[in-house]
């Protein structure tokens, strides 16, 4: 058995993998594969409708918001958010809390002025900036809720006098939050929601159409809303797997239920990291992520032996991002706590061998 701690594409529920495999061979008894049915067919429209309905239910999306399933990953949204929200000659505010936040603000510079209101770059992004002033003359403020590379997470969202745009790619559906506090939320599916290939966008309708610029149809949120996420052929299979994953999440007690599991997984692993003299955490304790647990060995000579030891135990995907090294255990929704305990046992056994 493999214990998949990979950062993304991340682990999916086994039952979802089984159901999606069946859908590839014979989707809902149609005799056709989900890969080959028309996106305009009643069968697929039912899939998309259910996926949208589950998003609205699980996130408790209020009236006045639209739910979209788009292509291009969260990285495309780095550009589409300012394209649709930042007026000509306008200003946007950004909190720089990691590599992806940095990439997002670079894209925004193509469309207007960018003010970095806070950054943790000087300390290699090991904490979440919190004490900053939101410029009320900005069109929006952009934040990244969870930083996969550095293992930091914004534990409490803030109220803002201007629309908040949030990249939730790596912790969407992992914890409760109030959608009404945001103007735009976007998230690549491949962490907690499905396979790579589809991106979720939740946008407040009344913040759109105010830039004064013409936007090509494929990049225009209003056009995508009018087309019901089907202005062109959508990523049908990825949406289908996302729908199955959201069904699975609902059956487990929804976001509130999975949040309790995620807290328990994170607490168990961080407790071992803090106890074990061979390892240490690298992110600020108050900002530790419940999705991506980052840590290093006290003795660099132990890094390769520990990776090898984990591989022998069936533990995969814990090598840290190439830009920071060390280890990263991604404990997304579908990872069971039993896998976390396998990793903890490996750390304790490694301690006995190398202490």
Residues designated catalytic: 100, 167, 191
Cβ atoms of 69 and 91 within 8 Å: the answer is: no
Rg (CA), the chain: 21
Where does residue 225 rank: exposed (0-12), middle (13-18), buried (19+ CB within 10 A)?
middle
Q: Which of 62, 20, 5 is nearest to 248 (CA)?
A: 20
Where does residue 96 rank: exposed (0-12), middle (13-18), buried (19+ CB within 10 A)?
buried
Beta carbons within 8 Å of 271's beta carbon, 6+ residues apart: none
- Residue by residue, DSSP assigns 298-310 as SSGGGHHHHHHHH
DSSP secondary-structure letter at 135? P
Residue 319 to residue 18: CA distance in whole angstroms? 28
Cβ atoms of 212 and 87 within 8 Å: the answer is: yes
Element containing residue 330 per DSSP (H, E): strand 327-330
Residue with tokens 């074990």: 276
> What Å distances lie between residue 222 and 73, 155, 185, CA to CA?
18, 31, 15
Element containing residue 271 per DSSP (H, E): helix 254-275
Residue with tokens 């900053």: 132
Element containing residue 95 per DSSP (H, E): strand 91-96
Residue 53 to residue 67: CA distance in whole angstroms? 9
Name the percent of the chain in helix, strand, coil, to the closest 5.
40, 15, 40
Cβ atoms of 65 and 107 within 8 Å: the answer is: no
Residue 262 to residue 9: CA distance in whole angstroms? 18
């Amino acid at each position: 058995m493999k214990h998949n701690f990979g950062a993304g594409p991340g682990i999916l529920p086994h039952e979802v993998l089984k159901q999606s495999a069946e859908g590839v061979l014979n989707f809902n008894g149609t005799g056709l594969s989900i890969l080959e049915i028309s996106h305009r067919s009643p069968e697929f429209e039912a899939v998309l409708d259910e996926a949208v309905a589950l998003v609205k239910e699980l996130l408790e999306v209020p009236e006045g918001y639209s739910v979209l399933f788009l292509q291009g990953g969260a990285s495309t949204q780095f550009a589409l958010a300012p394209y649709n929200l930042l007026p000509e000659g306008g200003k946007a505010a950004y909190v720089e809390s990691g590599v992806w936040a940095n990439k997002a603000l670079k894209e925004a510079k193509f469309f207007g002025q960018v003010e970095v209101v806070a950054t943790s770059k000087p300390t290699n992004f090991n904490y979440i900036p919190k004490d900053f002033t939101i410029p009320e003359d900005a069109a929006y403020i952009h934040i990244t809720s969870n930083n996969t590379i550095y293992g930091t997470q914004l534990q409490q969202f803030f109220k803002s006098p201007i629309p908040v745009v949030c990249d939730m790619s790596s912790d969407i559906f992992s914890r409760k939050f109030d959608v009404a506090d945001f103007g735009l939320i976007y998230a690549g599916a491949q962490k907690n929601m499905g396979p790579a290939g589809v991106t979720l966008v939740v946008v407040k309708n009344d913040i759109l159409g105010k830039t004064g610029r013409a936007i090509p149809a494929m990049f225009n949120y209003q056009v995508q809303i009018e087309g019901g996420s089907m202005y062109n052929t959508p990523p049908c299979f990825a949406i289908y797997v996302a729908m199955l994953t959201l069904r699975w999440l609902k059956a487990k007690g929804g976001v509130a239920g999975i949040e309790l599991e995620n807290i328990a997984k994170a607490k168990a692993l961080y407790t071992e990291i803090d106890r074990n003299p061979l390892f240490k955490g690298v992110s600020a304790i108050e900002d530790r992520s419940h999705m991506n647990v980052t840590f290093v060995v006290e003795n660099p000579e132990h890094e390769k032996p520990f990776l090898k030891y984990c591989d022998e135990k069936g533990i995969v995907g814990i090598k840290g991002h190439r830009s920071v090294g060390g280890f990263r255990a991604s404990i997304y929704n579908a990872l069971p706590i039993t896998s976390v305990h396998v990793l903890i046992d490996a750390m304790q056994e490694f301690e006995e061998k190398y202490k």
